[in-house]
Amino acid sequence: MSWRSGRCLRGCLVLFAVVSALCVCGPALYWKFKKGLRLGPTSSPACTPCLCDCPPPLSLLKIAPDCGGDDPDLKEEMEKQFVDLLTEEMKLQETVNEEHAHHMNITFAEARRVASQYQREAEKCNAATETCEQARERSEALLIKEKKVTSLWERRARQMGWQGE
């Protein structure tokens, strides 16, 4: 029984491998044979070359020969000297740096204000903690004192004949 099932399984695997190979390679082989089997007058005629009467593409200079030539702002900008342009760039950089410094100063002042507020809150917490600690120490001292008094009264009661619980 196992010999037959092994043989059947092997046959199924071979069949699966052949079908997979045909699925993968089949389309390419189909087109290759279809192109290669054009024999005689039954095959379709070859394409004729296209005849176009298109004008040549326009160059950029023909489309816009004097790009921005009519713009007075652009003309004025182009006529400035290199030194003037550098001076203007440095002024812009200085303005940007001043704005950045101003923003940093505001941010720093805000950070100092918040830090001060947190410091005050921390001092309040520390003071409250000290107060609680002092109250705990006083309570502990009172408890110790109360235990001593209770012990004294219990000793006296036992001396008087009290048996306890």
**What are the tens digits of pLDDT across the range 121-161?**
999 999 999 999 999 999 999 999 999 999 999 999 999 98
125 occurs within a structural domain: yes
138 occurs within a structural domain: yes
26 occurs within a structural domain: no
Could you list the residue range(s) of the whole structural domain that residue 111 is in? 71-164
**Number of domains the chain is built from:** 1
54 occurs within a structural domain: no
Query: Could you read off the pLDDT of 22-62 as tens digits, one per residue?
Result: 888 888 888 888 877 655 554 455 667 777 777 777 666 56
CA distance 74 to 66: 12
Model confidence, pTM: 0.36
Please give the C-alpha separations between residue 47 and each of 38, 40, 42, 50, in angstroms, as whole numbers: 14, 16, 15, 9
CB distance 74 to 68 below 8 Å: yes
CA distance 110 to 118: 12
Query: Could you read off the pLDDT of 55-91 as tens digits, one per residue?
Result: 777 666 566 556 556 777 777 776 767 778 888 999 9
